[in-house]
Every structure is written in structure tokens, then in C-alpha cells.
Amino acid sequence: MANQTGVLDDVFLALADPTRRSVVRHLGRGPASVSELARGRAMSLPSFLKHVRTLERAGLVSTTKTGRVRTCALDRERLELVHDWLAEERRVWEGRTDRLEQLVTRSTTSPKDLP
Amino acid sequence: MANQTGVLDDVFLALADPTRRSVVRHLGRGPASVSELARGRAMSLPSFLKHVRTLERAGLVSTTKTGRVRTCALDRERLELVHDWLAEERRVWEGRTDRLEQLVTRSTTSPKDLP
DNA sequence: CCAATACTTAGCCATATGGCTAACCAAACA
DNA sequence: TGTTTGGTTAGCCATATGGCTAAGTATTGG
């Protein structure tokens, strides 16, 4: 149940684009509005909006609208999903298939979300 | 320069599909032939081959042909690229933008390619 | 109230993706 | 020699992606 494949599909797909990775990078420094994120990009606003929607669909970004401004924020937890996937792969290489170890290994880099 | 965006595009795109992630998982246990990898999948051989090609294009898998058999192997280095990208993001969250630290942190998981 | 700002919706278009079948090598058996 | 076996090529097709423009809606500032 840990790996809903659909979610990973969306997450990896969302990250497979330089514009979107750049947005993730930007939001890493803190929340920002859509037009703020779009500034300086050689792209129309509607086109850029699609990228934001893709990031939202992947759950990497959450947005809220206040007045006429939509503010975007990064969801770090979703990015940790990538880390978890990678960690699982490493476990396979190393021949350790025991799932319990997953939670332990995870805490070495970010000791926050142990359910 | 560390982030050739094109490569990350291809790597993330390659991982954005359950079939291909499953191949990566399989190859994590060791090399395998194409038909071996295709076995049990609800998909024609040509269709499956395309996935292998996509993984090759991303550099995640390398293949060699001996006789009539094409053997595929995982390139773990390329997967570390994902880890490196993620690590960079984390550094941004934590406000540490100094690039030197990148090389140090990286060596915790794979102390190989320090240019 | 008017105008500028900040999205948003609704198309349109070219290309890419992911699947298929049919047909075609070439190596390995029997 | 003839037949599997393992892969490959060449199309075809439906849908998705990533870009655009034009024309909306809804706040906000003057």
C-alpha cells in the first residue's frame, strides 16, 4: 500500500520538466504567487498556469486563492516520496528486502514524518 | 553546470511509468535479458521494447547484445542523479545555498565522481 | 465608476507517448 | 535443413503534453 503507483507516476512526470523543477526550486525558498513565479519566464501566463496545475495534480504544490492572488506552496512531503522510492531501490541492490528498515533509513535525512 | 537539465528531464520522464519503474526494480537484483524482463507483462514485445529504449535514453539502463540475446543492466549512477537533485532541493529549504557543501553531503551515499 | 491587475477559460495546434499488428532478421536447436 | 526463439523495424492509432491567442471574470487602486 506504500506505493500507490499513480502518485509516483504524477510526481515523476511533474518533475520531468525544467520549468516545473525550477518552480519547485523557487518554492523551496518560500511560498509565492503565480505571477511572481511566472516572472522572467519566456512563456505566456496560461501556458505557465498549466505547469502549476501539473504540480498541483502531483501533490507537489498546494495553492490557495486570496482576493485575486493565488499563492503556491511546496509540499515537501511529496518530494520525500521520491526519496523513499530511491531508498527502496537501494535496499534492493543491497539485497535487503525487509520493509521495516525503510522507516529507520528514512530518518537519517529528515527526522520529521514518522507515522 | 551540475544540472544538465536535459538529462534530468529524461531520467524523471523514464521513471514516470510503472512498467519502467518495475524494470528498474527488477534490474536492481541484477542484469536480465529483454524477454526475461518482459515475461508476465500484459504487453506486446515491441511495446515493451520501447520502454527499455526510454530507460536507455535516460541512461538508467545500458544494454549489450550477445548472440541473439540483449542483456540489460541498471546504471545506479544515473539514479544517484535523482538523489543529488533532491539533496539540492533540501539545501534550498534549509537556506544553505553554498555549493561546496553539495560535494560533501553527496559523499555520504556515493563517494565517486567529485570533479 | 473606471482602469489596471491577476488570473482563468476555451479553444487551436504540433509533437510526443504508449499501445497495437504484421513482417522481418539472425542465432540456436533438433 | 528447417523451426523455434529472441529481438527488431515499420507502420498505425488514440490520447496526452506543452505551447499559443483571444476573450473572459473578479479584485483592487485611483
Instruction: Say if residue A60 is in the same domain as residue A93.
Output: no
Is the residue at B97 inside a domain?
yes
Distance, Å, A22 CA → D23 C1': 30
Instruction: Say if residue B95 is in the same domain as residue B71.
Output: no
Distance, Å, B24 CA → C22 C1': 30
Is the residue at B111 inside a domain?
no
Is the residue at A45 inside a domain?
yes
For the beta carbon of residue B72, count every other beta carbon within 10 angstroms. Answer: 20
Cα–Cα distances in angstroms (integers) from residue A17 to residues A23, A51, B47, B77, B91, in the given order: 10, 9, 24, 21, 20
Q: Give the residue nearest to nucleotide D9 (CA to C1').
A: B46
pLDDT score at A94: 87
**Does the pLDDT of residue B17 top 50, yes or no?**
yes
Written as nine digits, the cell of A108 is: 537519517
Q: What is the pLDDT of residues A58-94, one digit of tens each?
A: 999 999 999 999 999 999 999 999 999 999 999 998 8
Is the residue at B112 inside a domain?
no
- Contact list, B79 vs chain A (CB under 8 Å): 86, 89
Percent of chain A with pLDDT strictly greater than 90: 75
**Structural domains counted in chain B:** 2
CA A45 to CA A51: how far, in whole Å?
10
Task: Please state whether strand C lies within 7 Å of residue B6 at its CB atom.
Answer: no
Please give the span between the terminal C-alpha atoms of chain A, in angstroms, as a whole number. 14
Instruction: Say if residue A61 is in the same domain as residue A82.
Output: no
Q: Give the residue nearest to nucleotide C27 (CA to C1').
A: B68
Is the residue at B49 inside a domain?
yes
Per-residue pLDDT, averaged over B21-34, amounts to 97
Is the residue at A112 inside a domain?
no
Per-residue pLDDT, averaged over A82-107, amounts to 76
Q: What is the pLDDT of residues A16-25, one digit of tens each?
A: 999 999 999 9
Number of H helices, E strands in chain A: 6, 3
- Contact list, B28 vs chain A (CB under 8 Å): 89, 92-93
Percent of chain A with pLDDT strictly greater than 70: 78
Q: What is the pLDDT of residues B77-95, one digit of tens each?
A: 999 999 999 999 999 988 8
Q: What is the pLDDT of residues B32-75, one digit of tens each?
A: 999 999 999 999 999 999 999 999 999 999 999 999 999 999 99
- Contact list, B27 vs chain A (CB under 8 Å): none
| Domain span at B86 | 77-106
Is the residue at A66 inside a domain?
yes
| Among the partner residues B16, B89, B90, nearest to A9 by beta-carbon distance | B16
Instruction: Say if residue B70 is in the same domain as residue B88.
Output: no
Subunit contact A12:B13, Cβ cutoff 8 A: yes
Instruction: Say if residue A40 is in the same domain as residue A83.
Output: no
Is the residue at A113 inside a domain?
no
Subunit contact A8:B21, Cβ cutoff 8 A: yes
